[in-house]
Structure 1
Amino acid sequence: MREYSVPVLVDVPASANLTDTVFQRAEREPGTVCLRRKVGDDWVAVTAGEFRDQVAAVAKGLIAAGIEPGDRIALMSRTRYEWTVIDYAIWAAGAVSVPIYETSSADQVKWIVANSGAEAAFVELESHEETLREALAELPGFKHLWRIDDGALDGLSADGAEVPDETLTGRRTGRGIADLATIVYTSGTTGRPKGCALSHDNLLFTARNVAAGPLDQLFTVDGRAALLFLPLAHVFARMIQVVLVETGTVLAHTPNMKNVAPDLQGFRPTFLLGVPRMFEKVYNGAEQKAAGDGKGKIFHAAAATAIAWSRAQSAGGPGLGLKVKHALFDKLVYGKLRAATGGRLSAAVSGGSALGERLAHFFRGVGIEVFEGWGLTETSAPSAVNMPGANKIGTVGKPFPGVTIGIGDDGEVLVKGRHVFGGYWEDEKATAEVIDADGWFHTGDVGELDKDGYLRITGRKKEILVTAAGKNVAPAPMEDLIRAHPLISQAMVVGDDRPYVAALITLDPEALEQWKAANGRAGAGLADLSADPAILAEVQTAVDRANRSVSKAEQIKRFVVLDSDISEESGHLTPTLKVKRNIVMRDFAKHIDSLYN
């Protein structure tokens, strides 16, 4: 088995926990701005002292409400400032936070609350409260339900006013790295979500070693600021939040995942994290806007130059001619793209699935370098990540400090390190299936390590298709290439036990609006466009591009364009925009069968 390890940079003492930095920074530098929260149209500064005081007040309220060390408390909310206050308050009270996606159904909420044994919950909106109350109808042991938008934090702060500081200190310092910090439920792409039990050590060890190692330049330089908009219920955004708090990077939140542009303009971050679909939509949106303004040729030339310039950075540097073209397009195109993000953004981290080399080179050429990383909920988010000055595009980077990555005989990626979870909550059987006797966590991903220790993910074991002819096909790389087309929203490759490979494809409703205006189809609906010859020709170009990347036996022979999009709202995508393949296979079985008739 091939292995690659990176030594630990930062040790974490047994007495430490996730709240230490919040309270210690407030003692050392109470006036330092560490967060900003949006009030109306303004971004209001929150100092280290103010943040500590709010966390402490809510934590005292929890203690007054009878919350005991180790109790589980659910948190169902969009990404916002209060999410962070509540999370750290739960830890300061000695309890365990159980995040729930704010889009979850009553059945999903019921399962998470029941399985985790949560005795209390915070919700954000009235609709969230209704969902939770529906789920609680069959859970009589539940004690408290607080709604953020109904003044819950002020109420808890008032209730806890009589709790002595010494009591809070005892609760807070009574938890060490071995104690459970959170139960994060997987997004459920293949079945019922499993609760990943993550300790203070899992999160704190990861955050401090990531911050001190691969990505230190993103967090430790003066003036750094980050805007979070991905769901904090997902371990990816949650871990980045811990990193930001640990490093003192100014942190802000917005719930506007689908329309983040105004907050980018107002807050002007230097750093973002996102998922590949977000970067795809930024590129596609810019391309469509340029085409609509009659500047499509200029944009395509600028994009080609950005990609060429980035590729040259990895091969000795660009020549004089390319430098001149790049400088010209920086004034005409790239500067405008950077201005749309607030004008200060220079770096981003992408995770969740493959970004694709073309997009990564494009953004680096524009002046916004995207660093791909990789990991799972079970590994506290990252296990590998690219880094400034050593960004090998097309890979997900090297292991971060303290991590060992191995490749099994069957190509499966295996991981060891203090960031690996202790197991699935209340499920020893499932835990034993993924952590072997030698301590390796079996990720289920397939990949390879190059001679320098960079990891490349090539597929997912459970998603590898085996055609009737016995050909193994990894669908993800082809799906990424198809989805890069501006008119395409999602693509799912099929072909397991079938005579050939085929694909289900959906169209992007937002991108179609501009296409319809430019092509005289103003009144056409999605059902009409899914059978429109011009649209089918566009999709064919995307499929042809994907087919050129694989052998003939792996190529997509037929495809169908669905007359509706698949989305989180339709139940076909997770909150981090991963396709729930089993659900799509079930709901579109007739369409799949038609591809083989």
Structure 2
Amino acid sequence: MSSMETIYQSFLDAARKHSQRTALLYKKEGKYSPITYGELNDSVDAVAAGLRKLGIGKGDRVGIFSYNRPEWLMADLAALKLGGVVVPIYHTLPAPVVRFIIKDSMIKLLFVENAELLSLIDGIRNRLPSLKTVVVFDDSQAESKSKFLRFEDVKKKSDSTIDTPITVDKDDVATIVYTSGTTGNPKGVILTHNNIVTNTTSAIEVVHGNSHDVVVSYLPLCHMLERTCCCYSMLFLGGSIAFAENLTTIAQDVATIRPTIMLAVPRVLEKVHHEVTKRVMEGPGLQKILVASAIRNLNTYANLKYRSQKVPLGLWIRHLFYDAVVGSKFRKIGGGKLRMVFSGGAPLDKKIAKVFYVLGFNILQGYGLTETSPVVCCNTIEDNVLGTVGKPLEGVEVRIGKNSEILVKGPNVMKGYLNKPAETAKVIDKDGWFHTGDQGRFDKKGNLIITGRIKELIVTSYGANIAPAPIEAKITHSPYVEQAMIFGEKRKYLVALLVPHQESVEKYAGDNNIPFDDYPSLLESSKITELIEHEIEEVNVGLAHHEQARAFALIPEKFTIENGLLTPTLKLRRKMILKRYAKRILSLYKKPGKRNEN
């Protein structure tokens, strides 16, 4: 595809070429309704004209405080058309963080999803001097102490198009994206049109995207992975974006839409893997035997194909049978048309990636950060090396610096952090290299392997440097452990905080006649302690001595976005977890050898 210079120009080019094709699909009364590129372009023009009449011009900050929906992209593209700077805000953030973002970025006009979020803004609006206008997408129950506008009214603000040309340059700021942050206030990442357009077009080339591609949008659009690789890529190509109704309806929505491409963070793929494993294990004996046999044969076949080795005739015939009987049924989970799943946002465990690969899913792992717009590296269908995140995109340079830190240079690297020149200087050196804070190495073929994050490294009292994430991923392979966090800073050994998978643990208790009054009391049972201890020991067998969890505590409360223990991108907020469970962790060191302290 030809590269246009700005986000809006790239969209407009596709809209003119594909005016009758479906751009967006959204749920209306339980059924998906289409919006064509022509209709979307008309809506963007109308919103832009309305924003212009409300005083929005080049450089003004326009916030979007909402989950994914068609209006999100209409507002985004309209603001970008005017040369505005879009500031997305996660709809799950608490009021103090929302207030900080609006104040720090000096948002002038804010789009809000619904009455609930409008109420939150109402409570902090008197402390936001820059905020002049609030516009509500879903106004069905919207009431407010302060003045607000309805989205449809903004579209009607001006029945004429924008006559005065607005010059938007590729180096103009397009968006300020606040990192979800595992500690403290988030930082505003300044990205230009050139940052995003070059990254989007490079990503499209890697996945061979085309105008017939369909994606399901469910990761928050505040996440640059979703915004760039899911939505902008489709809008630049003339492809289709279907919005999931919500996180609980994804499976149903995927089955209905039958996408060709999906984006996922590892946490989502881990949940799918867990659910599939659970269904197989709970099925009839014959089903378990069939699936186990199929996976063994499909795995052998996949290994030979993966290494470009000859497949024996007998194995090829068995592969056809098992793929038809088992593999194809698993692929129906993705709608049957899925040609690739792009995994990013965090490293995906190689074992889980291989299971999907064996079942016929092309899992392409990539690597990037908000500060790099976001993609740095990505595997391709032609060169997909499991356990790596592939090679750098065209025009992007990657090298390994001191302490194995990954350094990035290229047109995708941010301008800097908003209002933080000192912090910007810390991460972008005088030669233009962005210091990611991630650690990695290259394999012999030039594929990047992520080995850890410098800030997350645990340094034990013996001086061992341990990356916790790979250990946590191995522990959560267990069907009985949903979440895990490893601790051991300046200690002799590692311990683990574990959130059990409640449904699986309760089923185990029922199957084994373990009495309990409620879930927290069940976790105090010695039988459950023994169950989890066995799972940990299975993991420890494959780890070096200093990487093994020597004690653990079972936590009944899940780590969630709502309780502040996960970021909006589903990463552990380690310092918050350590703060909340400090006494529990300390107790694990007071009684060495004791596996569980409740």
**Among 431, 444, 447, the residue aligned to 2:440:** 447
Q: CA deviation at 1:595?
A: 1.2
CA–CA distance in structure 2, aligned partners of residues 51 and 401 of structure 1: 31
* More off after superposition, 134-143 vs 296-305: 296-305
CA–CA distance in structure 2, aligned partners of residues 98 and 514 of structure 1: 45
| Contact 1:185 1:196 (C-alpha < 8 Å) held by counterparts | yes
| Contact 1:74 1:118 (C-alpha < 8 Å) held by counterparts | yes
Q: CA deviation at 1:391?
A: 0.3
For 1:292, the aligned partner's letter is E
Q: CA deviation at 1:512?
A: 4.3
Specify the alignment match of 1:227 in structure 2. Answer: 216
**Among 163, 166, 173, the residue aligned to 2:163:** 166
CA–CA distance in structure 2, aligned partners of residues 41 and 501 of structure 1: 49
* More off after superposition, 285-294 vs 65-74: 285-294
Specify the alignment match of 1:550 in structure 2. Answer: 543
Specify the alignment match of 2:301 in structure 1. Answer: 309
| Contact 1:306 1:361 (C-alpha < 8 Å) held by counterparts | no
| Contact 2:14 2:235 (C-alpha < 8 Å) held by counterparts | no
Provide the secondary structure at the position in 2 that maps to 1:259: helix
CA–CA distance in structure 2, aligned partners of residues 578 and 535 of structure 1: 27
CA–CA distance in structure 2, aligned partners of residues 312 and 123 of structure 1: 52
Matching of residue 391 in structure 1 with residue 384 in structure 2: yes
Q: CA deviation at 1:521?
A: 5.6
Q: Deviations over 1:540-595 (max 9, x none)?
A: 34423432343212222111111222111211001111000000010000111011
Q: Deviations over 1:265-295 (max 9, x none)?
A: 1111111001111111112111212222223
Specify the alignment match of 2:238 in structure 1. Answer: 248
CA–CA distance in structure 1, aligned partners of residues 530 and 298 of structure 2: 27
Listed as ranges, the matches of 1:495-506 within 5 Å are: 495-506=488-499
CA–CA distance in structure 1, aligned partners of residues 360 and 430 of structure 2: 46
Q: CA deviation at 1:504?
A: 0.9
Specify the alignment match of 2:579 in structure 1. Answer: 586
**Among 131, 136, 139, the residue aligned to 1:147:** 136
Specify the alignment match of 1:215 in structure 2. Answer: 207
Q: Deviations over 1:442-468 (max 9, x none)?
A: 000010012221000000001111111
| Contact 1:568 1:575 (C-alpha < 8 Å) held by counterparts | yes
Provide the secondary structure at the position in 1 that maps to 2:233: helix
Listed as ranges, the matches of 1:355-434 within 5 Å are: 355-434=348-427
| Contact 1:285 1:511 (C-alpha < 8 Å) held by counterparts | no
Q: CA deviation at 1:520?
A: 4.5
Provide the secondary structure at the position in 1 that maps to 2:174: strand
| Contact 2:516 2:522 (C-alpha < 8 Å) held by counterparts | no
CA–CA distance in structure 2, aligned partners of residues 487 and 198 of structure 1: 42
Specify the alignment match of 1:508 in structure 2. Answer: 501
Specify the alignment match of 2:111 in structure 1. Answer: 122
Query: 1:482–1:322: structure 2 CA closer, same or farther, 3 Å change rule?
Result: farther
Matching of residue 88 in structure 1 with residue 77 in structure 2: yes
* More off after superposition, 274-283 vs 537-546: 537-546
Root mean square deviation of aligned Cα = 2.0
Specify the alignment match of 1:4 in structure 2. Answer: none
Specify the alignment match of 2:183 in structure 1. Answer: 190
Matching of residue 488 in structure 1 with residue 478 in structure 2: no
For 1:262, the aligned partner's letter is Q
CA–CA distance in structure 2, aligned partners of residues 93 and 406 of structure 1: 38
CA–CA distance in structure 2, aligned partners of residues 463 and 475 of structure 1: 7
Q: Deviations over 1:155-212 (max 9, x none)?
A: 11111214x4423xx13xx111110101100011132100000110110010111212
| Contact 1:350 1:371 (C-alpha < 8 Å) held by counterparts | yes
Matching of residue 288 in structure 1 with residue 273 in structure 2: no
| Contact 1:311 1:361 (C-alpha < 8 Å) held by counterparts | no
| Contact 1:12 1:205 (C-alpha < 8 Å) held by counterparts | yes
Specify the alignment match of 2:593 in structure 1. Answer: none
CA–CA distance in structure 1, aligned partners of residues 58 and 221 of structure 2: 23
Specify the alignment match of 1:573 in structure 2. Answer: 566
Provide the secondary structure at the position in 2 that maps to 1:57: helix
Matching of residue 265 in structure 1 with residue 255 in structure 2: yes
Specify the alignment match of 1:157 in structure 2. Answer: 155
**Among 454, 460, 473, the residue aligned to 2:453:** 460
Q: CA deviation at 1:351?
A: 0.9
CA–CA distance in structure 1, aligned partners of residues 349 and 587 of structure 2: 30
The structure whose RCO (Cα within 8 Å, separation 6+) is larger is 1
Q: CA deviation at 1:43?
A: 2.3
| Contact 1:274 1:349 (C-alpha < 8 Å) held by counterparts | yes
- How many residues align? The count is 577
Provide the secondary structure at the position in 1 that maps to 2:7: coil
Provide the secondary structure at the position in 1 that maps to 2:375: coil
Matching of residue 299 in structure 1 with residue 291 in structure 2: yes
For 2:251, the aligned partner's letter is A
**Among 102, 123, 127, the residue aligned to 1:134:** 123
Identity of aligned residues (%): 34
TM-score normalised by structure 2 residue count: 0.92
Provide the secondary structure at the position in 1 that maps to 2:12: helix
| Contact 2:483 2:499 (C-alpha < 8 Å) held by counterparts | yes
Query: 1:72–1:311: structure 2 CA closer, same or farther, 3 Å change rule?
Result: same
| Contact 2:26 2:70 (C-alpha < 8 Å) held by counterparts | yes
Q: CA deviation at 1:476?
A: 1.0
Specify the alignment match of 2:68 in structure 1. Answer: 79
Query: 1:510–1:188: structure 2 CA closer, same or farther, 3 Å change rule?
Result: farther
Specify the alignment match of 1:5 in structure 2. Answer: none
CA–CA distance in structure 2, aligned partners of residues 517 and 55 of structure 1: 56
Query: 1:28–1:516: structure 2 CA closer, same or farther, 3 Å change rule?
Result: same
CA–CA distance in structure 1, aligned partners of residues 506 and 257 of structure 2: 29
CA–CA distance in structure 1, aligned partners of residues 513 and 371 of structure 2: 50
Specify the alignment match of 1:7 in structure 2. Answer: none
CA–CA distance in structure 2, aligned partners of residues 484 and 384 of structure 1: 26
CA–CA distance in structure 2, aligned partners of residues 57 and 43 of structure 1: 23
| Contact 2:468 2:486 (C-alpha < 8 Å) held by counterparts | yes
Query: 1:38–1:258: structure 2 CA closer, same or farther, 3 Å change rule?
Result: closer
Specify the alignment match of 2:428 in structure 1. Answer: 435
For 2:154, the aligned partner's letter is L
CA–CA distance in structure 2, aligned partners of residues 522 and 58 of structure 1: 60
Q: CA deviation at 1:68?
A: 1.7
| Contact 2:213 2:234 (C-alpha < 8 Å) held by counterparts | no
Q: CA deviation at 1:123?
A: 0.9
